[in-house]
Amino acid sequence: MSSALGGSGQPIPGPPYPPANASLGGIPSILPDVPLSVVFLVLFLIFGIAHMLILKKNKARGHKFIFNGPLAEFAFFRVLTTSLRIAWAKHPTSIELGIAATVFVYAGTILLFVVNWYFVQRIFRAQHPQLGWSKIYRVVHAVGIVAILVSLALVIVGAIQPFLTLNTAVRHIDHSLYLAGETYFAVFCFAPVIVVLISLVLPRNGIDKFGAGRFRNNISILTAATLILSCGAIFRCVIAWLPETPLCDSEGRPVQPPSYYSKASFYCCNFLTEILVVILYAITRVDLRFHVPDGCNEPGDYKRKSAYTIIRRENPAAVAFPPSVHPEPNAAQQ
């Protein structure tokens, strides 16, 4: 177990302890962290409200699409995250604020991963109804969700417990847990692209169409969102596997962290990638594109149970998704 005495022989104050190694973004400061955090706070608030309004409007007209809810919740979660980072920047010596801000950074992002996981499930089922509705695929889908929740717990424990102990053996275990969690985060985040590629390669007979807009455009939107998020997830995974950088050398002098720990890396690989996806899903109206009827539980249900006829503009310059979606009971999607 690590010694509880400092270099001068004096007892080290009890937990929480200050960080010993460099981390992505480091400890925030008034400049540039507060202005950047305020910008992202406003953006997340605006588009969180946008997704909530879409959800309420759809509910009022009987159009059930629950995923605007998690998207709005994620955006509001990031409002709180950026608020904590602003508070931490104003009180940089507060280890408690640092712990809270760190937890919120990790805890929110999986909501977007899970939304993409459900979207790619709908794409795969549309292209391969028999396999997509099979028990095997259901199990794979469920295991993916459970595993990301377990990975979240590993990441939080691995990131937070070092603040609470000086035991080097425990800290080594924490780092291993953190590596495992971040690695699965990256794999799960990128997984929809892999599923889409598999779906495109496998032979198929027609498409069990769902939602509004051209099917290939919907695939492109999901792929773009996944790749944007993957840039951040893979970057965080890579730097997690790199050797840790102590904040001070053996003589207690500060050490300049490598550039990949910079504040620019933190904001670009976290908040920027996330807000781009939140905005993309709002302006492309995923509530129309990825909507499936209630009660779908077997191959062909996307078409058979559809209550919408999609009417497209003949003008090729029109927006990608149809300007009107008219309820017509028992009408199959075109």
Bond from prior residue into 192 cis (ω within 30 degrees of 0):
no
Smallest CA-to-CA distance from 214 within 330, 319, 115 is with 319
The reply to whether 128 falls in a domain is: yes
Q: How far apart are CA 110 and CA 152, in angstroms?
A: 8
pLDDT grade for 183, boundaries at 50, 70 and 90: very high
Q: Looking at the domain assignment, is residue 238 inside a domain? A: yes
Read off the pLDDT band of 47 (50, 70, 90).
Answer: very high
For residue 157, being part of any structural domain is answered with yes
Which three-class secondary structure state does DSSP give residue 297?
coil
pLDDT value at residue 11: 52
Q: Are 123 and 196 in contact (CB under 8 A)?
A: yes
What are the CA-CA distances from residue 25 to residues 132, 285, 317 (Å)?
41, 33, 43
Report the number of distinct structural domains present in the chain. Answer: 1
Q: What is the pLDDT of residue 298?
A: 82
Per-residue pLDDT at 9 exceeds 60: no
- Checking if the pLDDT of 3 tops 60, the result is no
149 lies in some domain: yes
CA Rg, the chain, in Å? 23
At residue 325, does pLDDT exceed 50? no
Q: Is residue 318 part of a domain?
A: no
Number of Cβ atoms within 10 Å of the Cβ of 64: 12
State the average pLDDT over residues 15-36. Answer: 94
Q: How far are the Cα atoms of 153, 162, 164, 165, 176 from residue 15, in angstroms, in the given order?
A: 21, 10, 5, 7, 21
The dihedral of CA 296, 299, 304, 306: what is its sign?
positive
The reply to whether 221 falls in a domain is: yes
Range of the domain at 262: 30-305
pLDDT score for 162? 94
* Highest mean pLDDT out of 86-90, 103-107, 326-330: 86-90
Task: Please state, rounded to an integer, the average pLDDT across all residues of the chain.
Answer: 88
Residues 199-246 have pLDDT tens digits of: 999 998 889 989 999 999 999 999 999 999 999 999 999 999 999 999
> Is 46 within the bounds of a domain?
yes
Q: Is the residue at 182 inside a domain?
A: yes
Enumerate the H helices of the chain as residue ranges: 30-60, 68-90, 95-108, 110-127, 129-132, 135-160, 168-201, 215-241, 263-267, 273-283, 286-289, 301-304
Give the pLDDT band (50/70/90) at residue 137.
Answer: very high
Mark 111-132 as b/e (b = at least 16 C-beta within 10 Å). Answer: bbbbbbbebbbbbbbbbbbebb
Map tokens 């549309």 to a residue: 126
